[in-house]
């Protein structure tokens, strides 16, 4: 695609029709909603000087076709257009891209204690440490903006006791809406916006910053919630809930409704948040891995680019399409992309068989069953209807089991046909009179789901084999068992473990940037919840806190850390903060062994990027990799953008800039990024990469020496092998030479680390024979 002319690329994007279920569907003459992106903005106009209204007039469209206008931080608009009209606008000077308004999806306590405990382990086990002290809880004026489903302002996590006046630089607003007034904001929640929708009747009557889903409230309290003691989810996960930066202010931008998150609203929120004055933007949503969005049609990549231009770090979830390789999203190099991993807590709901034989399961349920094994235990296959398929019955699929056999029983149900979701199976067992279900799911065993209406637990396939053997052994009498109510197990080992759902690299955007960047807790996270949850557990009322899993939950952990780093180092730009978080990450679990995947195999950079975030150590990294505006503009050149489009996108920042004459995708590897990725290397010859480090630790005397962890078959040489920094802010560059003694077939992963006895600065690398 990069070989196409700009005109052909624009035309191709404009011909794209939204996926089924997208409200932006259009034909040649009928209306859909399209986004017209026109680059940077100056005095309300795009860099080309063209006003959006002029474009609409040029195709005989009226101003009332506009759904959203972007003019505060970048230029463009979303409007009702036909496909034909979208094509016409795409050809106009000053237009970077035109694309359909797609639906994106949300990527959906003790976690902070666990991260700080891991820091203590590192201090004990590593010869070098960057840690001065744990993250401070003092008040700061750092502002975290969250693009999500809104916020529940009454939650205790958003109290403002002890906080000073709202920072004078804040330019945002607290929008009134349905069940929400400006008085709902305070010195903690300093801003709230929502974006009107005309896509569905249900959403049209719910115009407010108020969170109706719970997701936005959950992530906001994870990032910056005030400490709240005595919290739990109906007694589970009890303790003190707190955010990563409890002294930071919160600004909520509601872009997600019950139907999803509109691209047009996401861009509007970026436009506002940049102008409002946020310091960090937390975005726990994105496209699916299968969407294949190009940068020109990705609202998050576009908005984040302009945020970076204005000194704002954008932190995004990596996606929940794992464990498939190549599934990571939000992978633009100006975004900090976060994978998800577990903490040292397990929600155990055991199965008990005759003889008090215990099979460990995981789930959140409030089982009313007796603790002794007195209930009939069967498997779905043995309860199959006479004319049903045995495999479908084994999986407890609808209309496959006999009601008389299921009624009053606990049913063992497999999940190996991919036909129905676990929820469908649970509803089937319940509708047939079953009193409990044991779900067999190796992946689901590592992240607890919440079951409200039926006692359910999840076991591994190995443990399921033991249960099935017990059932089959008792051919002459009834097998019995029970499911126990959930208990919380702390100090669980090993942890962290990479979550099975966490999206993996390599990036489909380009293999020459390693993504994801880091991992953070994203499994079984307790955080604040909405106050009108009518779907709570029957008889237990509305929970003030709830438990969720997803890269949506890992993202705000890193946003909170970034806010603390920013407050400690206010002069740092977004790339320095990102570098501090990445180069100080750890690859070790609480057994002092390598972090593993959910299958038990050793995890690597495609799973966790640089490793698990390390809050205390990231405050003082010693050295950082700074990625400047020229790096990002060069990236656009290498990626295939024309100089005309780059100047439209970047505006004054591109004055005097021109693309290198030999621009090609291989040069992306030379971007001054904290990790290194090289593609298209077949093992012939060598590949040389450059990097530059900046001293941020004040005046230093002790030189840094490099150590290399290289995989078999790959030779790695660093020149020079020592770096000496004197004054604060001094920069030193080095070369990395990759060569191989034989053809490269698989991805080769390793790392290089600069250390001087006090600071340790690690960069993972991956060398691949695959192209770009």
pLDDT band of 443, cuts 50, 70, 90 = confident
* CATH 3.90.100.10 for domain 624-767: no
pTM score over 0.95? no
Catalytic residue among 82, 282, 349, 552: 552
Neighbour count for residue 458 (Cβ, 10 Å): 26
d(CA 566, CA 193): 24
Structure confidence at residue 408 (pLDDT): 97
Lowest mean pLDDT segment, chosen from 118-122, 394-398, 723-727: 118-122
* CATH 3.30.70.80 for domain 6-101: yes
Residue position matching structure tokens 């000194």: 311
Is the pLDDT at 97 greater than 80? The verdict is: yes
Domains 6-101 and 345-490 agree in fold: no
Catalytic, 416? Answer no
Average pLDDT over residues 102-120: 65
**Which tokens sit at 627?**
């990625």
Structure confidence at residue 292 (pLDDT): 81
Helix (H) or strand (E) holding 260: strand 260-262
**Which tokens sit at 588?**
């070790």
Give residue-wise pLDDT tens across range 335-347: 999 999 999 999 9
Neighbour count for residue 417 (Cβ, 10 Å): 12
Is the pLDDT at 26 greater than 70? The verdict is: no
The residue extents of the domains of the chain are 6-101, 106-128+137-344+496-623, 345-490, 624-767
d(CA 442, CA 323): 12
Average pLDDT over residues 234-242: 91
With contact defined as beta carbons under 8 Å apart, do 409 and 373 qualify? Answer: no
Contacts of 1 (CB under 8 A, 6+ apart): 9, 12, 294, 640
Average pLDDT over residues 425-452: 92
Average pLDDT over residues 185-190: 98
Catalytic residue among 148, 298, 350, 747: 148
Q: Distances in Å between the alpha carbon of 663 and those of 636, 650, 658, 687?
A: 10, 18, 11, 16
Beta strands in 11-137 (DSSP E): 32-37, 41-42, 45-46, 66-70, 76-81, 97-100, 103-106
Q: How many residues does the chain have?
A: 772
Of 125, 66, 58, 141, the C-alpha closest to 101 is 66
With contact defined as beta carbons under 8 Å apart, do 90 and 14 qualify? Answer: yes
Catalytic, 298? Answer no
d(CA 105, CA 465): 36
Q: First-to-last CA distance in the chain?
A: 12
With contact defined as beta carbons under 8 Å apart, do 77 and 97 qualify? Answer: no
| Most distant CA pair in the chain, distance | 86
Lowest mean pLDDT segment, chosen from 74-78, 435-439, 652-656: 652-656
| β-bridge pairing 714-719 and 731-740 | antiparallel
Q: Distances in Å between the alpha carbon of 158 and those of 221, 401, 554, 738?
A: 7, 49, 20, 50
Is the pLDDT at 362 greater than 50? The verdict is: yes
CA 188 to centroid of chain Cα atoms: 24
Average pLDDT over residues 558-586: 97
Lowest mean pLDDT segment, chosen from 1-10, 126-135, 322-331: 1-10
Paired strand residues for 624:
694
* Average pLDDT of the chain to the nearest whole number: 88
| CATH for the stretch 345-490 | 3.50.30.30
With contact defined as beta carbons under 8 Å apart, do 319 and 472 qualify? Answer: no
d(CA 747, CA 752): 17
pLDDT band of 605, cuts 50, 70, 90 = very high
Give residue-wise pLDDT tens across range 127-186: 233 433 444 444 478 999 999 999 999 999 999 999 999 999 999 999 999 999 999 999
Average pLDDT over residues 319-334: 96
With contact defined as beta carbons under 8 Å apart, do 106 and 29 qualify? Answer: no
The 3 state secondary structure assigned to 530-542 is CCCCCCCCCCCCC
Is the pLDDT at 655 greater than 50? The verdict is: yes
Catalytic, 148? Answer yes
Highest mean pLDDT among 433-437, 439-443, 541-545 belongs to 433-437
d(CA 112, CA 117): 8
Give residue-wise pLDDT tens across range 49-85: 777 778 888 887 766 788 899 999 999 999 999 999 9
The DSSP 8-state label assigned to residue 351 in this structure reads: E
Share of the chain above pLDDT 90, in %: 75
The 3 state secondary structure assigned to 551-604 is HHHHHHHHHHHHHHHHHHCCCCCHHHHHHHHHHCCECECCCCCECECCCCCECC
3-state secondary structure of 113: helix
d(CA 174, CA 166): 13
Structure confidence at residue 536 (pLDDT): 64
The DSSP 8-state label assigned to residue 44 in this structure reads: T
Is the pLDDT at 10 greater than 70? The verdict is: no
The DSSP 8-state label assigned to residue 449 in this structure reads: P
Of 348, 314, 306, 308, the C-alpha closest to 330 is 314
Give residue-wise pLDDT tens across range 308-325: 999 999 999 999 999 999
Catalytic residue among 107, 215, 306, 598: 215
d(CA 412, CA 661): 64
Is the pLDDT at 430 greater than 50? The verdict is: yes
Q: How many helices and strands, by DSSP H and E, does the chain display?
A: 18, 39
Lowest mean pLDDT segment, chosen from 13-27, 109-123, 565-579: 13-27
With contact defined as beta carbons under 8 Å apart, do 348 and 489 qualify? Answer: yes
d(CA 405, CA 412): 13
d(CA 522, CA 105): 17
Q: Which CATH number fits domain 106-128+137-344+496-623: 3.40.50.200, 3.10.20.440, 3.30.230.10, 3.40.50.300?
A: 3.40.50.200
Structure confidence at residue 447 (pLDDT): 86
d(CA 477, CA 468): 15
Structure confidence at residue 111 (pLDDT): 54
Structure confidence at residue 55 (pLDDT): 86
Lowest mean pLDDT segment, chosen from 29-43, 349-363, 405-419: 29-43
Give residue-wise pLDDT tens across range 364-388: 999 999 999 999 999 999 999 999 9
Average pLDDT over residues 412-437: 92
Is the pLDDT at 771 greater than 90? The verdict is: no
């Amino acid at each position: 695609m990069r070989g196409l002319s700009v005109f052909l690329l624009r035309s191709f994007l404009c011909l794209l029709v939204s996926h089924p279920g997208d409200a932006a569907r259009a034909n040649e003459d009928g209306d859909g909603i399209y986004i017209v992106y026109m680059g940077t903005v100056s005095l309300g106009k795009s860099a080309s000087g063209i006003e959006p209204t002029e474009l609409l007039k040029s195709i005989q469209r009226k101003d009332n076709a506009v759904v959203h206008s972007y003019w505060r931080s970048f230029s463009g608009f979303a409007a009702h257009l036909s496909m034909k009209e979208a094509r016409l606008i795409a050809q106009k000077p000053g237009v970077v891209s035109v694309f359909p308004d797609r639906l994106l999806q949300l990527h959906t306590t003790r976690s902070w204690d666990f991260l700080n405990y891991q820091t203590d382990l590192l201090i004990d086990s590593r010869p070098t440490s960057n840690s001065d002290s744990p993250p401070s809880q003092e008040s700061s004026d750092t502002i975290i903006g969250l693009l999500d489903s809104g916020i529940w302002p009454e939650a205790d996590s958003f109290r403002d006791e002890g906080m000073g006046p709202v920072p004078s630089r804040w330019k945002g607003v607290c929008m009134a809406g349905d069940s929400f007034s400006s008085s709902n904001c305070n010195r903690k929640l300093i801003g709230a916006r929502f974006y009107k929708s005309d896509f569905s009747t249900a959403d049209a009557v719910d115009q407010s910053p108020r969170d109706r889903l719970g997701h936005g409230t959950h992530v906001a309290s994870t990032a910056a919630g005030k400490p709240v003691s005595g919290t739990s989810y109906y007694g589970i996960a009890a303790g003190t809930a707190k955010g990563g930066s409890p002294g930071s202010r919160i600004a909520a931008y509601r872009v997600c409704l019950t139907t999803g998150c509109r691209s047009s609203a996401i861009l509007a929120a970026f436009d506002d948040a940049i102008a409002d004055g946020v310091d960090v933007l937390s975005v726990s949503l994105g496209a699916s891995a299968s969407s294949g969005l190009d940068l020109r049609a990705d609202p998050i990549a576009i908005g984040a680019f302009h945020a970076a231009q204005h000194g704002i770090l954008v932190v995004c979830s990596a996606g929940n399409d794992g464990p498939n390789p190549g599934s990571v999203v939000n992978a633009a190099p100006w975004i900090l992309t976060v994978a998800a991993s577990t903490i040292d807590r397990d929600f155990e709901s055991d199965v008990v068989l005759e003889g008090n034989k215990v099979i460990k399961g995981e789930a959140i349920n409030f089982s009313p069953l007796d603790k002794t094994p007195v209930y009939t235990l069967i498997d779905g296959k043995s309860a199959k209807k006479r004319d049903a398929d045995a495999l479908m019955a084994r999986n407890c699929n609808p209309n496959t089991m006999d009601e008389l056999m299921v009624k009053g029983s606990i049913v063992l149900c497999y999940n190996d046909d991919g036909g129905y979701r676990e929820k469908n199976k649970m509803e089937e067992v319940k509708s047939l009179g079953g009193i409990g279900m044991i779900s067999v799911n190796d992946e689901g065993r590592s992240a607890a789901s919440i079951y409200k209406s039926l006692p359910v637990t999840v076991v591994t396939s190995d443990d399921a084999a033991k249960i099935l053997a017990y059932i089959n052994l008792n051919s002459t009498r009834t097998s019995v068992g029970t499911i126990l109510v959930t208990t919380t197990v702390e100090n669980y080992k090993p942890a962290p473990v990479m979550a099975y759902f966490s999206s993996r690299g390599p990036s489909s955007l380009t293999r020459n940037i390693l993504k994801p960047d880091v991992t953070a807790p994203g499994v079984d996270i307790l955080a604040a919840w909405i106050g009108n949850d009518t779907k709570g557990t029957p008889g237990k009322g509305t929970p003030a806190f709830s438990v969720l899993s997803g890269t949506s939950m890992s993202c705000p952990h890193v946003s909170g850390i970034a806010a603390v780093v920013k407050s400690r180092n206010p002069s740092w730009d977004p790339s320095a903060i990102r570098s501090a978080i990445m180069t100080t990450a750890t690859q070790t679990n609480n057994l002092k062994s390598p972090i593993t995947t959910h299958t038990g195999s050793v995890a690597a950079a495609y799973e966790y990027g640089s490793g698990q975030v390390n809050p205390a150590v990231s405050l003082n990294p010693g050295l950082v990799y700074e990625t400047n505006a020229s790096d990002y503009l060069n990236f656009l050149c290498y990626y295939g953008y024309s100089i005309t489009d780059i100047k439209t996108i970047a505006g004054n920042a591109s004055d005097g800039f021109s693309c290198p004459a030999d621009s090609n995708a291989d040069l992306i590897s030379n971007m001054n990024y904290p990790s290194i990725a090289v593609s298209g290397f077949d093992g012939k010859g060598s590949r040389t990469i450059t990097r530059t480090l900046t001293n941020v630790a004040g005046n230093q005397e002790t030189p840094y020496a490099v150590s290399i962890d290289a995989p078999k078959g790959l030779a790695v040489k660093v020149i020079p092998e020592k770096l000496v920094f004197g004054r604060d802010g001094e920069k030193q560059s080095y070369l990395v030479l990759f060569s191989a003694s034989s053809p490269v077939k698989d991805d080769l992963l390793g790392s290089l680390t600069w250390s001087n006895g006090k600071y340790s600065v690690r960069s993972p690398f991956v060398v691949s024979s695959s192209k770009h």
